[in-house]
Amino acid sequence: IANQPDIKELSKMIKTYQLYQAGQREISTKLENLDAEFQVNYDYNPIHHMESRMKDVQSLVQKAERKGYELTADSIQKNIYDIAGIRVITNYIDDIYNVEKLLTHQTDVTLLRRKDYIKHPKESGYRSLHIVVKVPVFQASGPVDVPVEIQIRTVGMDMWASLEHKLRYKTDANQELVDKYGNQLKGYAEELEQIERGMQEIHKDLI
Ligand code: 0O2
């Protein structure tokens, strides 16, 4: 699209963004409702907070080029699942899998993809559960299924990922700094997991 500003393609892309944003709102509401129900039933909130973002056009084009996808609305809809993204930050590790289960068991939510970087951390030490679900969005013309990517992680994993992201992800990584801090951060990811598991056990004993 950046290379060929075709009006028809652009208007299709704008429509896609509007649709995906609606899907993101549907899932956000479901997650808020689940958290509120937990508060009433168990006097506890598994979700610490949530962040929603629509992938900006520059990142979208970069990703399409990196993966060799055509820059058309159809190709982007078919191949790129993280246009609409929600990050769910939980208190404890078990909450991650509970939130996933409660959301994906809803009859109008279908799990499309799942990457468990907690059981299988990335080489950098990155931990998080990534799922892509599809949810119907009711348009004037009828329902349309929309994919939404959800990254679910604890407060500790989120703090780690923000700092590590600064160090090397997306930016022109400064190799000297990556060499200096990469291993140290990887070690901290492991330590954080131990601490979070220990704190979870204490929390379980208190409820
Ligand atoms: P943004 O703007 O944060 O979304 P796929 O979508 O699976 O086809 P990809 O890009 O290989 O392709 O997916 P992956 O690696 O499963 O997830 C990408 C996102 O996870 C990144 O989004 C980061 O938010 C996060 N992430 C993955 N690996 C790391 C890591 O090593 N460190 C940190 N800090 N974050 C990571 P983007 O691409 O940054 O875009």
* pLDDT of residue 171 exceeding 70: no
Half-sphere exposure at residue 33, Cβ-oriented, CA atoms within 13 angstroms:
9
- Whose structure tokens read 């959800």? 150
Q: In b/e form, how buried is each residue of 17-47, taking b as 16+ CB within 10 angstroms?
A: bebbbbbbbbbbebbeebbeebeeeeeeebb
Q: Which ranges of 6-56 does DSSP label H, i.e. alpha helix?
A: 7-42
Cα-based distances in Å from 153 to 16, 32, 99: 27, 16, 10
Residue 85 Cβ < 6 Å to ligand 1: yes
Residue 149 Cβ < 6 Å to ligand 1: no
Quick check: ipTM above 0.95?
no
Q: What is the pLDDT of residues 43-70, one digit of tens each?
A: 889 999 999 999 998 999 999 999 999 9
Please name which of 60, 74, 150, 53 lies closest in space to residue 111, comparing C-alpha atoms.
Answer: 150
| Catalytic site positions | 149
Token pair of 162 as six digits:
């923000």
Closest atom of ligand 1 relative to the 67 alpha carbon: 8
List the residue whose alpha carbon is closest to atom 30 of ligand 1.
126
Domains of the chain in sequence order: 7-154 (3.30.460.10)
Which segment of 6-15, 32-41, 110-119, 146-155 scores lowest on mean pLDDT?
A: 6-15
